[in-house]
Structure 1
Amino acid sequence: MEAQALFQGTGRRKESTARVILRPGSGQILVNKRALDNYFPRETLRMVLKEPLDVTQTAAKYDVFVNVEGGGVSSQAGAVRLGIARALLKADSNFRSALRGRGLLTRDPRMKERKKY
């Protein structure tokens, strides 16, 4: 049996952590074993998540499997976006300039500020 190419990437944002696996396929996206539309019902979050695939024009070339935990839905979408971008970079290093130009390879350093009372 031939081994299929798998590309892994990890993304973090606020308290969320996403582990992403890209596999050559038809463009299916599963988040925590659920369809993308079921996990992220808001269209804006789905757009954030798909941005690396749209920039590199690879939305229909890879199946994306995501395991994400922690934080809220917005920070989870940001973590998945960074994970997808890093996995795409492992798949093809020529994507670096396109992803870097849109700021998709930079982790957002903003965290919750501590209480001061």
Structure 2
Amino acid sequence: MLDNHIQTGRRKNAIARVLIKMHKNEVNNGKIIINGQSAEKYLQYNPIYINKIYLPFEIINYDISTSNVIVKVKGGGISGQADAIKLGIARILCEINNDYKPLLKQYHLLTRDSRIKERRKYGLKKARKAPQYSKR
């Protein structure tokens, strides 16, 4: 039985399209591939980012060896991309089994972090930084 699930995750300027391919056979499974590279290599072997993307699986004790995760991600930096991937994976797991939803919600994995960089306003150097005030 072949079963595919697709979801999108976003964080800052990063957008991740996550696909989980479910397979019966145990050959060549349990991998997370991001933009054609292994997750560890793409996330520069940083344990913080690697643990972020595996967190939804660990919370619900999901056996990742039964499926492959393929991710296409663009925009933002590595930190935002890791959070976007985490959200996409959590959404897919809810799609696979709705019983996971309360547990994932309890750990705030289904909440989209809407904080983005504030735009620059005219007359200012950055979003809020003003030129130095001169009295005379």
TM-score (normalizing by structure 2): 0.80
Partner of 2:33: helix, strand, or coil?
A: strand
| 1:30-57 deviation per Cα after TM superposition (whole angstroms, max 9, x unaligned) | 0001111110121110001111111111
User: Which is higher, the Rg of structure 1 or of structure 2?
Assistant: 2
Out of 34, 50, 57, the position equivalent to 2:54 is 50
Cα RMSD over matched residues? 1.2
Q: Contact 1:9 / 1:85 at 8 angstroms: preserved in 2?
A: no
- Structure 2: gaps (5+ residues): 24-28, 120-126, 131-136
Query: What is the aligned partner in structure 2 of residue 66 from structure 1?
Result: 71
Out of 24, 27, 31, the position equivalent to 2:30 is 27
Q: Number of residues paired by the alignment?
A: 115
Which structure has more relative contact order (CA 8 Å, sep 6+)? It is 1
Query: What is the aligned partner in structure 2 of residue 16 from structure 1?
Result: 14
* Percent of aligned pairs sharing the same letter: 34
- Structure 1: gaps (5+ residues): none
Q: Contact 1:14 / 1:71 at 8 angstroms: preserved in 2?
A: yes
Q: Which amino acid is 1:106 matched to?
A: T
More helix by share: 1
Q: Contact 1:14 / 1:112 at 8 angstroms: preserved in 2?
A: yes
